[in-house]
Amino acid sequence: MAESRILRPPPPHAWTPAQSATAPADQRAIAPGVPGLRFTIARFSDNELVLFDTAAQESWVVYPPRSRYDFLHTRRASSRITLVEHHPWAPFSKIDDHPLRPESACGLHGTTCAANEIVTAAAQLGFDPFG
């Protein structure tokens, strides 16, 4: 009788944006069932959603109003604000904050701001960006 082997997935490990496209399937999710979504989930928690866009070489971090990080208190004008950070991967790039309210688009850049696409993608992935 042949001995059966149990195959186990590799244990989770930390990875960087450069490795995100080749990360094991149990450590990333490329928007299953959401056609055309180009983001890789780097982190999904109650406090934040981190999305990698490897083609554009940038990251986006969504901090909903429920986030409990202390550093957000000084960066939000109101407790109803969802803060979206844009992180280009190029050295010395500036990190930009985009404040959004549920009833309107980005407070700094309006409806053409890329942060609006990010909160839409977050919602499509099951993350509540305004809760």
| Position 90, amino acid | A
Structural domain contains residue 95: yes
44 bridge partner residues: 49
Give 105's Cβ-side CA count (13 Å radius).
10
In terms of residue numbers, what domain contains 60? 39-124
Q: How far, CA to CA in Å, does 16 sit from each of 6, 13, 19, 27, 42? A: 29, 10, 5, 12, 9
Is residue 26 scored above 60 in pLDDT?
Answer: no
pTM of the model: 0.70
Report the number of distinct structural domains present in the chain. 1
Structural domain contains residue 12: no
Structural domain contains residue 53: yes
Structural domain contains residue 4: no
Structural domain contains residue 79: yes
pLDDT per residue over 76-105, tens digit each?
888 888 999 999 999 899 999 999 887 777
Structural domain contains residue 60: yes
